[in-house]
A and B are shown apart, each in its own frame.
Chain A
Amino acid sequence: MSLKKKRIGVLALGQLPEHALDIISFHIKNHLDVMPRTLPALDNPEYAYNEKRFQYDAGIIIEALEAMRFSDVEKVIGVMSIDLFIPIFTHVYGEARQGGNCAVVSLFRLKENSDGSASPAVLIYKRAAKVALHELGHLFNLLHCENEKCLMHFSGCVKELDQSSPTLCEYCAIFLQDKLRHR
């Protein structure tokens, strides 16, 4: 079964910059050769807001998306501008359930460089696309890769994210094809 038969959906949660969703969709099509569907936008996930941390819990948001049971799509990427976290992390750029159906991506922390300076819009969208592709890899059960240039390499900061490539290394690419073949 090839990736083309997979249906991938992207949706906005809350307000997003103009064209953000289109650019992410374009990158998904460019690298995975499948055009995602743009799903109807949802409101800001206030149910996931943590007052102590002033951030939104990514785990709760993913659970909520999984409960929504989107028809006609198998994998869903939720994109938002709010700050995400999970309890053991300071913050996250994206989160996905390994081998699951839903993932979330946040633009909040991608707007700044490592030195604190503001990033241009082009770079922000490029980073968001990489994170979305990375989370999509987790949804297809790919694990973190040791290869620093691979899309599936863990990026702890924007500097590492910028150094990573939007493409898979040969081993992860083979692994992805193998996963798809056995579905």
Chain B
Amino acid sequence: MKHSAFGSKENGQKNKKKDKEGKKVIGIDQPFEYDEVVSITGPEYVKNLCRSDITVLPYEELKKNAPGFYLSADRCIWMKAGIINFRLCDGAHDCHHCPFDQAMKIAMGEPSPAAKEEQREGWAGRMKRTYEILETPCIHFKRGHVTSPEVCAANYACRHCDVHRMLQAQKQRRGVPRPTITNVSGFQVADGYYYHFGHAWARIEHDGWVRIGIDDFACKIFGRASSIHLPVIGDFLAQGEIGWVVERNGQKAAMQSPLSGTVCDLNNRTTAHPDVVQKKPYESGWLLLLEPTNLKLDLERLYFGRESLQWIENENHHLLRLLGTEYERMAATGGTAIDDIFERCPSLDWNRLAGAFLNTAALIK
């Protein structure tokens, strides 16, 4: 019996199809003449030919049965690169575990795996050598970034440490890309941000947290704050309730939180340098990060897109009405709103502004 394509009589009979001329073909999906292919590759090759035409024959056996083919894949990569004259690979090109490859790399100047390991553990090794093994301090604790834990429980494998990962995530969150700004009658409105009628903005971050700040309109009305009193991490804020307090020379204005949620991070820069809030209200002047508890419903109560532009326009008209009858229904062209409207317009009372635009006069006791 002649060898069939799949090594069994039944399969061979099934797959030894006959073409129109009565010649045997390898298979119905492989219309190649059996005898012709076998004469070139040998019977073993055809025997192991699978339906996808990819042979699974062990390479050494294949090489033996296919003397007519020059398989260049057996050359070592160092030979292919021209570094050495001749070497055939006997490890299926598994260079990572090849001792010859490692030896060549060392010879070329690359440090050995042991040396690399020693480099990686350089700082950790120094930490271990400096401190007793039982007293290995957490590097973030030593730097003052955290108050606990004091001792490293992960043998300085920081990538596996929750504290380290949390700090890394916080570091990434502090960067806020510059948004596209629309000028609405001299006031800046950031595109893609949600706005609460109390002039706080909310920006959805990629990880589901929400970044919160004060919009440009409120910043320009109340001017440069002397201090900002933020909540603490872990506090729960409800939408519409007081979230933080802006203070200027003893006068305070509470602002409403635009969303409900737990405070996860604070922008400590704003407490140290409150002027950054006014300079870049939509970027580095953000106030806090919130983990929202009722995001979908809360967002429905906020202004967004075209609605927010119209709202700021209306707020501008409201502001002009407060200035006096000569400015009522005024429409300006050109220029920008001044940075400190409260200071430049003595007729505008602090509490009156807070009540008119922040809607928190009633909340302050």
- Interchain CB contact under 8 A, A95 and B333: yes
Within 8 A of B (CB), among A59-77: 59-60, 62-63
Q: Mark A94-125, 1 if CB is under 8 A from B, else 0.
A: 11111110000000010000000000000000
With an 8 A cutoff between CB atoms, is B262 at the interface?
no
Interface residues of B in 152-206 (CB under 8 A from A): 183-186
B323 contacts across to A, CB distance below 8 A: 86-88
Majority SS at the chain A contact face: mixed
What are the interface flags for B317-349 relative to A under an 8 Å C-beta threshold, 1 for contact and 0 otherwise? 001100110111111111111100100110000
Q: Does B298 contact A (CB under 8 A)?
A: no
Cross-chain contact A92 with B326 (CB below 8 angstroms):
no
**Interface SS majority for chain B:** mixed
Q: Which of A3-11, A13-21, A34-42, A150-158 contacts B (4 or more CB under 8 A)?
A: A150-158
Across the interface, which residues of B come within 8 angstroms of A87, CB to CB? Answer: 323, 327, 341, 344-345
CA distance A144 to B310 in the complex (A): 10
Say whether, besides A88-B320, A146-B306, A154-B183, A100 and B329 are in contact (CB < 8 Å).
Answer: yes
The 8 closest A-B CB pairs, nearest first, are A93-B334, A59-B326, A98-B329, A138-B331, A89-B335, A91-B335, A94-B333, A92-B332
Bound: A128/B119 CA distance, A: 70
List residues of chain A with CB within 8 A of the CB of B313: 143-144
Contacts of A143 in B (CB 8 A): 313, 331
Q: Which residue in chain B gives the minimum CB-CB distance to A160? A: B183
Q: In the complex, are the beta carbons of A63 and B334 less than 8 A apart?
A: no
Chain A, 132-183, CB within 8 A of any chain B CB: 134-135, 138, 143-144, 146, 154-157, 160-161
Instruction: Tell me which residues across on chain B come within 8 A of A160, comparing CB atoms.
Output: 183
Which of these, B183, B330, B334, B341, contacts A91 with CB under 8 Å? B334
Closest chain-B Cβ to A153's Cβ sits at a distance in Å of 10
B contact residues vs A (CB 8 Å cutoff): 183-186, 306, 309, 313, 319-320, 323-324, 326-338, 341, 344-345
Q: 13 extra interchain contacts, Cβ-Cβ under 8 A, other than A86-B320, A88-B344, A135-B331?
A: A60-B326, A86-B332, A87-B323, A87-B344, A88-B320, A89-B335, A92-B333, A95-B330, A109-B334, A144-B184, A144-B331, A154-B183, A157-B334
List chain A residues, Cβ under 8 A from B330. Answer: 58-59, 62, 86, 95-98
- Say whether, besides A87-B323, A146-B306, A92 and B335 are in contact (CB < 8 Å): yes
Q: Tell me which residues across on chain B come within 8 A of A89, comparing CB atoms.
A: 186, 332, 335-338
Contact of B331 among A98, A146, A156 (CB under 8 A): A98
CA–CA, A63 to B313, complex, Å? 22
A87 to B184, CA, bound (A): 17
Cβ contact within 8 Å between A131 and B334: yes
- Report yes or no: A97 in contact with B329, Cβ–Cβ below 8 A: yes
Residue in A closest to B326 when the chains form the complex, CB atoms:
A59
A156 surroundings in chain B (CB, below 8 A): 183, 186, 334-336
Which A residues are CB-close (under 8 A) to B334? Answer: 91-94, 109, 131, 155-157, 161
Q: Who on chain A is nearest to B325 by CB?
A: A63
A99 to B345, CA, bound (A): 26
Which residues of the partner chain B approach A59 to less than 8 Å between Cβ atoms?
324, 326-327, 330
Known interface pairs A88-B320, A144-B185, A146-B306. Does A154 touch B333 (Cβ–Cβ under 8 Å)?
yes
Given contacts A144-B313, A146-B309, A154-B183, contact A90 B335 (CB under 8 A): yes
B264 to A: closest C-beta gap in Å: 35
8 contacts between A and B (CB under 8 A): A59-B327, A62-B330, A89-B332, A89-B338, A91-B334, A109-B334, A131-B334, A144-B184
Complex Cα–Cα for A139 and B320 (A): 17
A88-B338 in contact given A143-B313, A146-B306, A146-B309 (Cβ < 8 Å): yes
